[in-house]
Structure 1
Amino acid sequence: MENPGNPNDTLGVPAVAMYLVVLIVLTATSAALTGLGSFAQQFLTRRSFTLRIGVYAFANAPLFVTSLLGALVSLAYLYDAVSGVLAALLFLLSFALLLLASPRRLN
C-alpha cells in the first residue's frame, strides 16, 4: 500500500470496487435462487415443516450473505456519509425481512 494509514489509498483496484463486484455477483445469484425457492415453496405448502425450512434456507442463503456483506461494506467504507448509513440500514432491513419471511408451521 502507498499509505498504510489509509487502506483506501492504493495503486490497484480499490477494495470498495472489488466488494461491489462481489455484491453484484451475489445479488444476481441471490435473486435467481430466491425466485426458484419461492416457486418451489408454492408446491411444498402441504409438505413437512423441516423440508420447507430446508428449501427456504438453501434458496435464501446467498441473500443472507449478500445482505450481511453489503451492510458490512457500507459501514466499513461509507460510515461517514449519509448514503452509506442508509445503504447499511437497507441491507439490514432486507436481512430482517428474510428472517420474518421464513415458513411457519401449519396448524
Structure 2
Amino acid sequence: MSDLDVQIPTSFDPFTEANADDSGVASKEYVHVRIQQRNGRKSLTTVQGLKKEFSYNKILKDLKKEFCCNGTVVQDPELGQVIQLQGDQRKNVSTFLVQAGIVKKENIKIHGF
C-alpha cells in the first residue's frame, strides 16, 4: 500500500472562471437584436447597444434601403437610442452589422422566438 500515491482532493471552485469574467463585463458590450410581436403576424425588430459614436440615422438609412422596410430611431430613457425596423429582420441585421464592420459577430446577441 505504500507504493500507491494517495491523492487528497483539493477544493475546486467551478465559478472561478465566471468570477474572472465579471471584471471584464464592462469592456465587452453586446448589441441586442430582438423581435417584438405586434398585431397578428406583424412584428418589429429592435437593435440596441450600438456605440454612441455611430450615427444611428445613417445606419437606419442603410438598413431600410438594404432590406426594403421602414424604421425609426427611438429614444428610450433606460436603453438609450434604439433602432426599430418593420418585420422580422434579426438575421439580416446581424449579418449587415458584421459585414459593415460595426460590430464583431461574437458581440451580437439575437433574442426572440
**Which structure dedicates a bigger proportion of its chain to strand?**
2
Greater RCO (CA < 8 Å, at least 6 residues apart): 2
